[in-house]
Amino acid sequence: MSTDKLPSRSEHFSEWYNQVVLKAELADYAPVRGCMVVRPYGWALWENIQKGLDRRFKETGHENAAFPLFIPMHFLEKEKEHVEGFSPELAVVTVGGGEVLEEPLVVRPTSETIIGYMYAKWIKSYRDLPILINQWGNVVRWEMRTKLFLRTLEFYWQEGHTAHATSAEAKQETLQMLDVYSDFAINDAAVPVIPGLKSEREKFAGAVRSYTIEGMMGDTRALQSGTSHFLGQNFAKAFDIQFLDSNNELQYAWTTSWGLSTRFIGAILMTHGDDQGLILPPKLAPIQVVLVPIFKSEDEKTKVMSVVEGVKDELKDFRLHVDDRTEVTPGFKFNDWEMRGVPLRIEIGPRDVEKNSVAFARRDKPGREGKTFVSQDQLTAQVAEMLERIQASLYDRALAFRESNTHNPKDYDELREVVKSGWAYSWWCGDEACEQQVKDDTKATTRCMPLDQPQGEGTCIVCNRPAMKKIYFARAY
């Protein structure tokens, strides 16, 4: 790992981000433009994200399945709004096995169409409903401007697809999964997100309503971190997903889709990181605790390593790594693990052996502020408590940052000013023309109308007409 100093987040946030991803060995650039290779440390983080989500999916009755990577072109053309929304991003296969294909195949940008086709085969009666399926996989969207994890041609994600007998059930499912994403983001990733409704302009192509969780990154830009869509009967009608109801009458199903991708790794990095590198929340960190033995002589090494082995055995229930490298200094190791964002470092040297103590170094509080000495007795409980403190501290700090950079501008001129370096939370009349004006004037877009809305009504921040909803405006990734 390179130990060159990182750029300052406050001065070069974008370059800081790029270098952290590379130096912490999360990912690297692939030979194909816009693609990435996810390295083992980055994949371990993604696996922990998967575990946190997959457990929640199964607790809410969903099952995993797998659907094909290739989709017949005419499938996408069945849902007009869907194909219009995705057509600029499609990767299309026209030759296979040395022969020109009779029909081009689309490398899936998302799977509503192929899954809709299969659901039409499987669903015949109301007794077949609901179908609650999730798949873990990869998709391809031909992005012109790319950034590791945040926006790549190919990325990894999960996409849930469900079919229901009634509109009410499908709407309940859509909001339930939004809650699942919010719970995961807040409690596992320590990322404070705002769940809310997307505007008509910003909704998913083919959806009736799109919901999102929006997070504020360390440069105050917004990141759409997960989405849940109520698709109504749009895809059911396009793919003829019909069933006989309890009255023996033919009905179209009501469907949903929802997804969270590897861009959430970017959310974690940009929410919690500092000028020393990553800071990972303990619940998701691939390594929760790193043990660093410190010694100078062979005699000291023998004594220290004996204690290290005992501590390692005691802390076996944590994701723990012993850094026993001898070719680098302790200072190098400290910087290395700070770059990688390991939540807790435990240092054990000859004096610690004598005093029956160890040194704790918190990653969220670098330097002396995060250093404490604790007894080796009941170390498991002390480590567990410290990791809980770090998890809570990361969330509290991120929430305070968002609140201090969110503004309620009194007029349009002030909105134009605050979105340069923060979010505006303002009344909006719902007119797309007002939405477009903000984007043209500031490059800020509407992020979401939070589910938790204030009482009463106000006047639109752009046109001063009556408004019933408040919405967040922000520049975004």
Q: Is the peptide bond before 130 cis (omega within 30 degrees of 0)?
A: yes
Q: In this structure, are 373 and 255 located in the same domain?
A: no
Number of domains in the chain: 3
What pLDDT is stored for residue 4 in this prediction?
75
Q: Kindly report, residue by residue over 205-259, the tens digit of the pLDDT.
A: 889 999 999 999 999 999 999 999 999 999 999 999 999 999 999 999 999 999 9
Q: Given pLDDT bands bounded at 50, 70 and 90, which one contains residue 76?
A: confident
Final residue in a domain of this structure, among 272, 306, 331:
272
Q: Given pLDDT bands bounded at 50, 70 and 90, which one contains residue 403?
A: very high
Q: Kindly report, residue by residue over 268-277, the tens digit of the pLDDT.
A: 999 999 999 9
Give the domain CATH number at 450: 3.30.110.30
What pLDDT is stored for residue 389 in this prediction?
98
242-244 and 209-216 strand pairing? unpaired
The H or E element that residue 333 is part of is: helix 330-339
Is the residue at 20 inside a domain?
A: yes
Is the residue at 284 inside a domain?
A: no
> Does pTM top 0.85 for this prediction?
yes
Q: Using CA of residue 146, residue 148, residue 150, residue 152, what is the dihedral sign? A: positive
**Percent residues over pLDDT 90 in the chain:** 94
Calpha distance 13→10 (Å, rounded) = 6
Is the residue at 335 inside a domain?
A: yes
Q: In this structure, are 262 and 305 located in the same domain?
A: no
Q: Kindly report, residue by residue over 162-185, the tens digit of the pLDDT.
A: 999 999 999 999 999 999 999 999
Q: What residues are paired with 423 via a beta bridge?
A: 406
128-143 mean pLDDT: 96
Is the residue at 2 inside a domain?
A: no
Q: In this structure, are 150 and 266 located in the same domain?
A: yes
Q: In this structure, are 429 and 378 located in the same domain?
A: no
What pLDDT is stored for residue 83 in this prediction?
64
What pLDDT is stored for residue 95 in this prediction?
98
Range of the domain at 415: 408-474
Of 2-11, 95-104, 339-348, 451-460, the one with minimum mean pLDDT is 2-11
Final residue in a domain of this structure, among 226, 244, 272:
272
Q: In this structure, are 59 and 108 located in the same domain?
A: yes
Residues 6+ apart with CB under 8 A from 59: none
376-382 mean pLDDT: 96
pLDDT at 81 > cutoff 80: no
Contact status, residue 153 vs residue 146, Cβ threshold 8 Å: yes
Q: In this structure, are 44 and 122 located in the same domain?
A: yes
The H or E element that residue 448 is part of is: none
Q: In this structure, are 328 and 467 located in the same domain?
A: no
Give the domain CATH number at 246: 3.30.930.10
What pLDDT is stored for residue 1 in this prediction?
54
- Which residue do the tokens 């399926």 mark? 133
- Which residue do the tokens 């469900």 mark? 162
Contact status, residue 13 vs residue 219, Cβ threshold 8 Å: yes
Q: In this structure, are 449 and 321 located in the same domain?
A: no
Contact status, residue 475 vs residue 216, Cβ threshold 8 Å: no
Q: In this structure, are 318 and 436 located in the same domain?
A: no
Is the residue at 5 inside a domain?
A: no
What pLDDT is stored for residue 88 in this prediction?
84
What pLDDT is stored for residue 144 in this prediction?
87
3-state secondary structure of 418: helix
277-281 mean pLDDT: 98
**Percent residues over pLDDT 70 in the chain:** 99
The amino acid present at 209, given as its one-letter code, is R
The residue among 318, 340, 345, 317 whose CA lies nearest residue 330 is 345
Q: In this structure, are 86 and 147 located in the same domain?
A: yes
Q: In this structure, are 295 and 442 located in the same domain?
A: no
Is the residue at 253 inside a domain?
A: yes
What pLDDT is stored for residue 338 in this prediction?
97
Classify burial at 266, counting beta carbons within 10 Å of its beta carbon; exposed 0-12, middle 13-18, buried 19 or more. buried
Q: In this structure, are 197 and 342 located in the same domain?
A: no
